[in-house]
Chains A and B, each alone.
Chain A
Amino acid sequence: MNVTPPLPKWADLILLPLINLFAAFFVCGLIVLAIGENPFTALNVMIKGAFFYPESLGYTLYYTTNFIFTGLAVATAFHALMFNIGGEGQAYIGGLGAAVVALLFGPNLPMLIVLPLCILSSAAFGALWALIPGYLQAKRGSHIVITTIMFNFLASSLMVWLLAGPLMQQGQQSPQTVLFADAAQLPQMREVLGYFGFELANSPWNLSFFIALIALVVFYILIWKTRLGYEIRAVGKNQEAARYAGINVAKIIIIAMAISGAFAGLMATNEVLGVHNRVILNFTAGYGFTGIAVALMGRNHPIGIFLASLLFGALYQGGAELDFEFTSITREMVVLIQGMIILFSGALAYMFNPSLARLIARISAPKEATDG
């Protein structure tokens, strides 16, 4: 048996994730090389595309907003040791929640009432869509992973049916709702900041970004400052000790899943209320799955999630730039990077752990190492 020395905290929290991230990028670089392009040129294009053009930062932050929500969703469930793969479906149903309120009240009520209702409704619908798998796991023992996968497909079927049927715009053939009334449209950052005298290039960056930032803070307070968060973490770390402490484990699992779904549902505030102003087919576009990579990279901590969201936001926006600069590599490069990150930061998270630990032990105690 190979007993490895424990990794110092800084190495575990910062160095190891960076090594895993580097490994993911390294392999992607090799693939770019194999395709016959220069990976550094590609990286350069992506960085420029993500930050340096007038509108690029706005786009990056627009994508970032999605990933904060879906990353928080995955992280909340992770804290209770639940693997919520259903962020995609929960976000989709969250869009339905926003649409129901926007279509019903949008034309008649003022924005200050409609918008908050829309936001709450998207969270509530997302929560409901996650609560059911949570309940089935806690009370009936169905595996959360499989159930949430199935709920993604169910959400998709339901939304296709609604968008091509009851919710479809009259006299139109494309599966989408009508445009929401102005009262149900989230203001654009360009307008908001323009009001304060800042000139911004055109981008879909909207007020939901602030909702995402608030969500990060709420998440932090919830998980580390409230009794509920304490119980969620206790259940996630040691279910037996949680039971000993008088915590109702099943209840906590259900609640954690509902909160997780609420975060995912809030993604609709960006895509539905902020950008499209209607529900369109597949507006979630895989962002829910990216949330898994975000949570894994961000180590389920709000700061980590914010940074990882920013990284993925930049990747998505920079990746779009690849389409213009190259003929042989495209924005799907981002999907590849995402896959590699999930592989290295998730499934192989501790592959480098033993060697890194030995290395650090050797550096910090060079004398013993040479003696031995």
Chain B
Amino acid sequence: MADFMLQLLLTFDATLRLATPLILCAMAGIFSERSGIVDISLEGKLLSGAFVAAAVTALTGSPWIGLMAAICASVFMSLIHGFACITHRGDQVVSGLAINILASGLTIIIGIALFKKGGQTPALSSDERFRGIEWFGVNLMDNIPIIGTIYRQLISGHSLLVYMALLAVPLCAFILYRTRYGLRLRAVGEKPESVDSAGVSVAWLRYRALIIGGIFCGIAGAYLSISHGANFVREMSAGKGYIALAAVIFGNWRPIKAFYACLLFGFLDAATSRLQGVDIPLIGEIPIQLMLAIPYIVTVLLLAGFIGRPTPPAAIGVPYEK
């Protein structure tokens, strides 16, 4: 029983680690989509963030500089997206796709040019990464049964970036629902005319939303390569940006709900690796591909209105013209 308990805790622990990049990207997606801009470029921003974080950290030895550089790179990608779809009113999907492909190509090309390791970055030492932080009194708490284990395994011991992701959720909710900027942001994605007729610039609001999204994706990327992992490998984002987008939809474009969706998708991911090859009584072996496909399946079912009706921002995808 205690063993099962520990297994469960370890799974939850892994859930949190796997959900971290999803959470950050989902928050980024919420900002840009709430402003009315379709953001399939989460994937590309995540990937460029991951690469730049690992590359800069490898070159400077400082994960903090790496993190900053990742944020800059990801914001830069956001600005390209904005330039194409806000300034030039280009197709938001095409632009997002271009960014994903650019990120895919650039990370490998620059990686090879810099490190000559076939697109990987050099492995980072443990000082060069954001590692788990052991919380105060872990050893003391160990004496308390159950709670001690929970404290050690689940609450303590994550990297700073995981805690940042967890903080990002209430922060996003606060910005979105409690601030002037959030009010205008929600309005601009629903009805840009309402903002324009109130004398507020639609373009500048949307640019800011994309920049904020870029910051989150940059942090997510850094988490992948200099916290969760110890270097960058090709196509490291592996579709996480798209899963985050699915989480945004699943969470109906709301931070807290999207956070739960990320946890769910992270849990599926964590459980999959644990269930691989395991025979479950009565059910038999669960095909892991099926579990990994669940985020996509539920998103399709959701969009088609089979399980509830998603309510995307009303003006999403439509370039604003006076």
Is B104 in the interface zone, CB < 8 Å from A? yes
A187 at the interface (CB under 8 A from B): no
| CB-based contact B109/A333 at 8 Å | yes
Cβ of A353 to closest chain B Cβ, rounded Å? 10
Q: Contacts of A151 on B, CB cut-off 8 Å?
A: 296, 300
The answer to whether B70 has its CB under 8 Å from any CB of chain A is no
- Which chain B residues (15-51) contact chain A, with CB distance < 8 Å? 38, 40
Asked if B110 is at the interface of the complex by the 8 Å CB criterion, the answer is: yes
Q: Name which of B178-186, B255-263, B284-292 contacts chain A.
A: B284-292
A350-B88 in contact (CB<8A): yes
Residue of A nearest to B243 (CB): A153
Judging by beta carbons under 8 Å apart, are A31 and B98 in contact? no
User: In the complex, which residues of chain B have a beta carbon less than 8 angstroms from the beta carbon of A160?
Assistant: 289
A340: chain B residues within 8 A (beta carbon): 98, 102
A292 at the interface (CB under 8 A from B): yes
Q: Is the CB of A150 within 8 A of B108?
A: no
Tell whether, in the assembled complex, residue A346 and residue B98 are in contact, meaning their CB atoms are under 8 Å apart: yes
B200 within 8 A of A: no
Q: Are B119 and A157 in contact (CB under 8 A)?
A: no
**Are B108's CB and A157's CB within 8 A?**
no
Residue A361 at the B interface, CB < 8 A? no
Residue of A nearest to B107 (CB): A332
Q: How far is the CA of A147 from the CA of B297 in the complex (A)?
A: 10
CA distance A327 to B289 in the complex (A): 38
**Size category, A interface:** 35 or more
Question: Which residues in chain B, 105-136, are within 8 Å of chain A measured between CB atoms?
Answer: 105-106, 108-110, 112-113, 116, 119
Given A140-B304, A157-B292, A347-B90, the answer on whether A342 and B101 have CB atoms closer than 8 Å is: yes
A36 CB contact (under 8 Å) in B104, B113, B312: B113
- Nearest chain A CB to B248's CB is how many angstroms away? 10
Chain A's nearest CB lies how many Å from the CB of B32?
14
Q: Which chain B residues numbered 295 to 316 have a C-beta less than 8 Å away from chain A?
A: 296-297, 299-300, 303-305, 312
Q: CA–CA, A157 to B268, complex, Å?
A: 14
B303 touches A136 (CB 8 A): yes
- Cβ distance B8 to chain A, nearest Cβ, rounded Å: 26
Q: Taking the complex as formed, is B79 at the interface, i.e. its CB lies under 8 A from any CB of chain A?
A: no
Interface presence of A117 (CB below 8 A): no
Alpha-carbon distance A327/B116, docked complex (angstroms): 8
A197 proximal to B (CB < 8 A): no
Q: Which of B88, B105, B303 contacts A338 (CB 8 A)?
A: B105
Q: B288 — nearest CB in chain A belongs to which residue?
A: A161
Query: What is the number of residues of chain B that contact chain A, defined by CB distance less than 8 Å?
Result: 47
Contact B303 A35 (CB under 8 A): no
B85 within 8 A of A: yes
Cross-chain contact of A292 among B84, B97, B304 (Cβ < 8 A)? B97
B98 pairs with A339, CB closer than 8 A: yes
The answer to whether the Cβ of A96 comes within 8 Å of any Cβ in the partner chain is: no
Report if A143 contacts B (CB, 8 A).
yes
Is the CB of B6 closer than 8 A to any CB of chain A? no
Inter-subunit contact B104/A335 (CB<8 Å) = yes
Q: Which residues of A contact B160 (CB under 8 A)?
A: none
Q: Which of A296, A336, A343 contacts B84 (CB 8 A)?
A: A343
Any chain A CB within 8 A of the CB of B162?
Answer: no
A289 at the interface (CB under 8 A from B): yes
Contact yes or no, B116 A150, CB < 8 A: no
Q: Are B303 and A146 in contact (CB under 8 A)?
A: yes
Residue in chain B with minimal CB distance to A330: B112
The interface residues of chain A lying within 8 Å CB-to-CB of B90 are 346-351
Contact flags (1/0) for A102-145 with B, using CB distance below 8 Å?
00000000000000000000000000000000001000111101
Instruction: Give Cα A83–Cα B92 distance, bound, in whole angstroms.
Output: 11
User: Which residues of B have CB within 8 Å of A47?
Assistant: none
Which residue on A lies nearest to B38, using beta carbons?
A: A145
> Do residues B113 and A145 form an inter-chain contact, with CB atoms below 8 A?
no
Name the residue on A nearest B112 (C-beta).
A330
B287/A332 in contact, CB under 8 A: no
B318 contacts partner chain A, Cβ-Cβ < 8 Å: no
Alpha-carbon distance between A260 and B97 when the two chains are bound, in angstroms = 19
- Name the residue in A31, A157, A289, A340 with the highest tally of chain B Cβ atoms < 10 Å from its Cβ: A157
Contact A289 B101 (CB under 8 A): yes
76-109 of chain B: CB within 8 A of chain A: 80, 83-85, 88, 90-91, 93-95, 97-106, 108-109
Asked whether A158 is an interface residue with its Cβ less than 8 Å from the other chain, the reply is yes
Q: How far is the CA of A327 from the CA of B115 in the complex (A)?
A: 11
B290 in complex: contacting residue of A142, A157, A328, CB < 8 Å: A157
Q: A54: CB under 8 A from chain B? A: no
Q: Mark A222-241, 1 if CB is under 8 A from B, else 0.
A: 00000000000000000000
With A142-B300, A343-B84 already in contact, 13 other A-B pairs whose C-beta atoms are closer than 8 Å? A35-B109, A136-B300, A150-B297, A151-B296, A153-B296, A157-B292, A160-B289, A328-B112, A339-B98, A339-B100, A339-B103, A347-B90, A348-B95
Q: Which residues of A contact B (CB under 8 A)?
A: 31, 35-36, 83, 85, 136, 140-143, 145-147, 149-151, 153-154, 157-158, 160-161, 165, 289, 292, 296, 327-330, 332-340, 342-343, 346-351
**A–B Cβ pairs within 8 angstroms, 25 of them:** A31-B109, A35-B109, A83-B93, A85-B97, A136-B303, A143-B303, A145-B38, A149-B40, A149-B245, A150-B299, A153-B239, A154-B293, A289-B101, A327-B116, A330-B112, A333-B105, A333-B109, A336-B102, A338-B105, A343-B95, A343-B102, A347-B94, A347-B98, A348-B83, A348-B84
Chain B positions within 8 Å of A, measured between CB atoms, are: 38, 40, 80, 83-85, 88, 90-91, 93-95, 97-106, 108-110, 112-113, 116, 119, 239, 242, 245-246, 249, 287, 289-290, 292-293, 296-297, 299-300, 303-305, 312
